[in-house]
Structure 1
Amino acid sequence: MMSDTPGAKPSALDAHAILLVDDEPMALKWFARQYGDEFVVLTAGGVAQALDLLAQRGHEVAVLLTDYSMPGQDGVALLSTARREHPHVSRLLVSACADKDVAMAAVNQGHVEAILEKPLDETITRQALRSALANSRERARDKALIERREATLRETLGFLAHEVTTPLATVSGYLTAMRDRHLDAIGCKPEVACIGQRRPGEVKAMLEAALRRSDYAQSLVSSFVQTARDAYHADSSASLRASDLVQAVLDEYPFEEGESVWLGCDLARDFTLPGRRDLLYLVICTLVKNALMALRAAPPGQPRVHLLLELGAPAPGLPPQSVIRVIDNGPGIAPEVLRRLTHEPVTTRATSGGSGMGLVFCQRVMTSMGGTIEVRSGPDGGTVVSLYFPPIQEHPDEEPT
Structure 2
Amino acid sequence: MTSAESGATHGALGAHAILMVDDEPQACKWFARLYGDEFVVLTAGGVAEALALLAQRSHEIAVLLTDYAMPQRDGVALLSEARQLYPHISRLLVSAYADKDVAMSAVNRGHVEKILEKPLDEALTRQALREALMSAQERARERALLERRAATLRETLGFLAHEVTTPLATVRGYLSAMRDRHRDNPESDSGFAQIEQQHPGDVLQMIEAAQRRAEYAQSLVSTFVQTARDAYHPDSAPSLRASELVQAVHDEYPFDHDEARWLSSDLGADFVLPGRRDLLYLVLCTLVKNATLALRASPPERPGVYILLGQEAPAPGLAVQPVIHVRDNGPGIAPEVLSRLTFEPTTTRADSGGSGMGLLFCRRVMTSLGGAVVVRSEVGNGATVSLYFPSAQ
The normalised TM-score by structure 1 is: 0.91
Question: After alignment, is 158-167 or 326-335 more displaced?
Answer: 326-335
1:45 maps to 2:45: yes
Q: How does 1:252-271 map to 2 (within 5 A)?
A: 252-271=252-271
What CA distance in whole angstroms lies between the structure 1 residues aligned with 2:130 and 2:380? 62
1:250 maps to 2:247: no
Unpaired stretches in structure 2, ≥5 consecutive residues = 1-9
What CA distance in whole angstroms lies between the structure 2 residues aligned with 1:13 and 1:210? 54
> Would you say the 8 A contact 1:241–1:272 is kept in 2?
yes
What CA distance in whole angstroms lies between the structure 1 residues aligned with 2:236 and 2:319? 24
Q: How does 1:202-217 map to 2 (within 5 A)?
A: 202-217=202-217
* SS of corresponding position for 1:348: coil
> Would you say the 8 A contact 1:283–1:362 is kept in 2?
yes
What CA distance in whole angstroms lies between the structure 1 residues aligned with 2:55 and 2:95? 25
> How far off its partner does 1:294 sit?
0.8
> Would you say the 8 A contact 1:12–1:140 is kept in 2?
no
> How far off its partner does 1:110 sit?
5.8
What CA distance in whole angstroms lies between the structure 2 residues aligned with 1:255 and 1:70? 74
* SS of corresponding position for 1:99: helix
> How far off its partner does 1:340 sit?
2.2
* SS of corresponding position for 2:209: helix
* SS of corresponding position for 2:281: helix
Q: How does 1:167-316 map to 2 (within 5 A)?
A: 167-185=167-185, 188-235=188-235, 237=237, 239-316=239-316
* SS of corresponding position for 1:268: coil
Distance 1:231 1:124, change over 3 A: same
Q: How does 1:26-37 map to 2 (within 5 A)?
A: 26-37=26-37
What CA distance in whole angstroms lies between the structure 2 residues aligned with 1:386 and 1:59? 39
What residue number does 1:124 align with?
124
* SS of corresponding position for 2:346: coil
What CA distance in whole angstroms lies between the structure 2 residues aligned with 1:67 and 1:42? 14
What residue number does 2:319 align with?
319
Distance 1:12 1:177, change over 3 A: farther
> How far off its partner does 1:348 sit?
2.6
What CA distance in whole angstroms lies between the structure 2 residues aligned with 1:391 and 1:157? 29
What residue number does 1:3 align with?
none
Q: Deviations over 1:123-178 (max 9, x none)?
A: 21111111111111111111111111111111111111111111111111111111
> How far off its partner does 1:290 sit?
0.6
> Would you say the 8 A contact 2:330–2:380 is kept in 1?
no
* SS of corresponding position for 2:291: helix
> Would you say the 8 A contact 1:79–1:110 is kept in 2?
no
Question: After alignment, is 235-244 or 245-254 more displaced?
Answer: 235-244
1:24 maps to 2:21: no
1:182 corresponds to which letter in structure 2? Answer: H
> Would you say the 8 A contact 2:230–2:237 is kept in 1?
no
Distance 1:98 1:257, change over 3 A: farther
What residue number does 2:328 align with?
328
1:79 corresponds to which letter in structure 2? Answer: L
1:368 corresponds to which letter in structure 2? Answer: S
Distance 1:98 1:215, change over 3 A: farther
Unpaired stretches in structure 1, ≥5 consecutive residues = 1-9, 394-401
What residue number does 1:366 align with?
366
Q: How does 1:125-140 map to 2 (within 5 A)?
A: 125-140=125-140
What CA distance in whole angstroms lies between the structure 1 residues aligned with 2:372 and 2:236? 19
What residue number does 1:54 align with?
54
> How far off its partner does 1:187 sit?
5.4
Distance 1:288 1:182, change over 3 A: same
* SS of corresponding position for 1:235: helix
Q: Deviations over 1:259-285 (max 9, x none)?
A: 111111111000000001101000000
> How far off its partner does 1:30 sit?
1.5
> Would you say the 8 A contact 1:76–1:109 is kept in 2?
no
Distance 1:386 1:98, change over 3 A: farther
Identity %: 72
> Would you say the 8 A contact 2:330–2:381 is kept in 1?
yes
Q: Deviations over 1:177-213 (max 9, x none)?
A: 1111011246544411111111111111111111111
What CA distance in whole angstroms lies between the structure 2 residues aligned with 1:76 and 1:342? 53
What residue number does 1:7 align with?
none
